[in-house]
Structure formats: structure tokens, C-alpha cells
Amino acid sequence: MPFHLNEFIENCQCAIKGAKPESKISALVGEAVAESEPVLAALGRPKRAMIEKLFVSDELTIINVIWAPKMILMPHNHKVWAVIGVYEGREDNIFWRRLKAPNEHKIEAAGAKSIGVGEVASLGKDLIHSVSNPLSAFTSAIHVYGGNFFEIERSEWEPETLTECRYDVVKNMGLFEAENAILKFRETGV
């Protein structure tokens, strides 16, 4: 069954207007990533790490996330619900929880979930997670958020001390370009 991006976006837009949008979006994402080849045919085979904006509004963001081999993104939150569906590779998520006062700006590991091809994970609006691609190949996933992913005031946690700070969209987008530079160097030596 082919994957039609415009139809997927329209279905997601309709789903957020009703009750329990996360459940409806989860079903749509699950259907989309059930088979890899149609999604790869529509979105292209990954050649570089990136966050590709497929649709962005105040109520909904749909992005195609391509994780570089062995790439890691430090703990962060979204402040909105999120649905992630992997159509190639694997995402390993570590879930974190805030410590109690007086250390409420720090976190500790609280669980984990691996998401493989054809699998979907729903993340609540208060969830804190970090993501890694444990593979030596690209991982590709459709991520859907219940808000504007690029403009939400949110937090990330410093990797060494796990202390909370303001999420920096520009810095995190730059991590994908840094990974691409590493890949290029491995391929060309330049």
C-alpha cells in the first residue's frame, strides 16, 4: 500500500480536532510505518542526518527524523504529546524523571524503550527522554507532535550533571549537521 504524504498530513490534521488525538495519531503513524518501502519511496532513502519539516502549525508538527549512525540526543522534554513511528533502523529511548526538592532541576533514569521498524511509541506531554541510534546505519522515523515543535519553550538536561537548562533548537538542529560532517570525514577523510 503506498504512503501518500499529503493524505497522511490531512488525516493527522483531522485527528487533532477530536477527542484523544494522541490515540488517533498513533493509529495513523502505525499504519504509515507498518511497511518501510512505501515510506522510503515517498520520503526518499536517507543520505544524511536531518530533521525534515513535513508540516508545522501551532497545533501540529510532523517531521521526518533521520538519525546518523550511533547518534545520541541528550535528555529533553517536548511539553506536548508526541508519537514516534520508526520505518527504518531503531531508536533507543531512555526515559527520565525529575528528582524531588531540593534537586528538582536534575533528573535520573526511570526506564527505557526500543522502537524498531514498524513500531510506534506515544510520549506524554510531561515525558523527558533521550534518544540514540545504536546502529551503524541511519534510523528513520516519523515524529508527530501536538504543537509547534520548533517554538515550544522547553528544557534539556546537561549531559554530565543532568542539570536542567533551556532547550536550544538551533544547537540541537546543529547536532545533525555535526553528525553529517563526521560521516563525510569517515567517507572522504576530508
DSSP-based three-state secondary structure for 177: helix
* Cα 134 from Cα 53, distance rounded (Å): 24
Is the whole model's pTM more than 0.85, yes or no? Answer: yes
Alpha carbon distances (Å) from 36 to 33, 39, 177: 6, 5, 25
Question: Could you tell me the residue ranges of all domains in the chain?
Answer: 5-188
Domain 5-188 CATH superfamily: Jelly Rolls (2.60.120.10)
Q: Is the dihedral of CA 122, 125, 129, 135 positive or negative?
A: positive
Tens-level pLDDT at each residue, the chain (190 residues): 899 999 999 999 999 998 899 999 999 999 999 999 999 999 999 999 999 999 999 999 999 999 999 999 999 999 999 999 999 999 999 999 999 989 888 999 999 999 999 999 999 999 999 999 999 999 999 999 999 999 999 999 999 999 999 999 999 999 999 999 999 988 888 7
